Structure 1
């Protein structure tokens, strides 16, 4: 059984990684409008008086310490959103009680991961025939220091099961409780790909939108196309 104490801890290293997010979820402006925790708390209190939708936009702030949000970085909202808008169905390393920021070492790996999960979701939507879904491509930079290295674990281990997440969720919960920053692991959907599950956004230094992609659904994901590249 893989445990927190059985995995090597990675040294400091600046990592460039990639992420794909559905374009129906816009950036959370209030995270990007401030440069510190104090500024955020003041602005949030002020806007809450006049914006009844603010709580929905910002998400469940109680799920993440304010000190962990990297205010002032480019794309702070992209770094913080997975921790305040948590998928209640969970993910590979979370049972749905806490958020994880998932990143990949290439956009191809990020697309493969998202494609699998989107297809599983769309398959269960009644009467969904032909549809186009648009995603934002993101490039992130973060410090890998303190991450657990699950690349040392055989791909046959239960934490890499393509469909059952019990073992990986136990590892994720234990890592979070132990104050671990992240887990580096093999991509399950892209051969040779590497992914990270960040358990806090505090070591993220930037998240920048780079391009838009669309997935075409016609009873299956029949294509993924790059639509545009953001300039500037």
Structure 2
């Protein structure tokens, strides 16, 4: 892909970046431990003797190079997207054979990205209206040299197509194979927002849990979001496109 040589690389440093995930996924003890990540295979081997389901909990650790693994408090939020992958769950920058950590530059960006995909799932599975899955906000820092597509916001660039992931997956596969740490790109669902697709967990740090959220499905879209802690309910208003 000769056009990738023209993609600039920029340093992305975000202190209050946000990822929103399903609350159904609990922290993984191994990743939260203070043990050296290089010792994890030995710990897994020992744990399997009493807990045969440990591998299913941890996922495929071999998908993350030893020198790119992270551990300690909150590390599950960084490691799990890379060890629990499936070709049945492709996304914009992966066909599902490898993991990607998607993070928004702010809460609103992560929110609009998440409710878009949640609404598509609810529509495909013909879910009845009502309050649905619970989510949690994860706040973290991002610090990485990334291939930068943000200057292409609003441009007809195939890798930023609203619905087709064919070109974006091919681009990401090529960049990752060439040693890239990830991609910075304009949010497709939140005009003016920015996102990153990180290819390795050590491109982010200091993850901490923020708010618990509930989404309301009205039969066609996610129209309400509730802060489960305060009980405050917010109506989702479609954002206008960026002005020219």
| TM-score strictly above 0.5 | yes
Match of 1:207 in 2: 207
Match of 2:148 in 1: 149
Compared CA separation, residues 147 and 208, structure 1 to 2 (3 A):
same
Match of 1:82 in 2: 81
Q: Deviations over 1:125-147 (max 9, x none)?
A: 14544342110100011212x21
- Please report the RMSD computed on the Cα atoms of aligned residues, expressed in angstroms: 1.9
**Structure 1 length-normalised TM:** 0.90
Post-superposition offset of 1:34: 3.0
Question: Following the alignment from structure 2 to structure 1, what is the Cα–Cα distance between the partners of residues 4 and 50?
Answer: 45
SS at match of 1:71: coil
Question: Following the alignment from structure 1 to structure 2, what is the Cα–Cα distance between the partners of residues 147 and 186?
Answer: 13
CA contact (8 A) 2:134 2:215 kept: yes
1:99-118 aligned within 5 A: 99-118=99-118
**Structure 2 length-normalised TM:** 0.86
Post-superposition offset of 1:94: 0.5
Are positions 1:194 and 2:174 aligned together? no
SS at match of 2:11: coil
Question: Following the alignment from structure 2 to structure 1, what is the Cα–Cα distance between the partners of residues 189 and 37?
Answer: 37
Question: Following the alignment from structure 1 to structure 2, what is the Cα–Cα distance between the partners of residues 2 and 34?
Answer: 43
Are positions 1:165 and 2:148 aligned together? no
Question: Following the alignment from structure 2 to structure 1, what is the Cα–Cα distance between the partners of residues 194 and 86?
Answer: 22
Paired residues in the alignment total 227
CA contact (8 A) 1:3 1:171 kept: no
Match of 2:229 in 1: 228
5+ residue gaps in structure 1?
A: none
Q: Deviations over 1:82-127 (max 9, x none)?
A: 1011242310011111110000011111010110111111112145
Compared CA separation, residues 36 and 163, structure 1 to 2 (3 A):
same
Post-superposition offset of 1:193: 0.4
CA contact (8 A) 2:59 2:84 kept: yes
SS at match of 1:47: helix
CA contact (8 A) 1:187 1:193 kept: yes
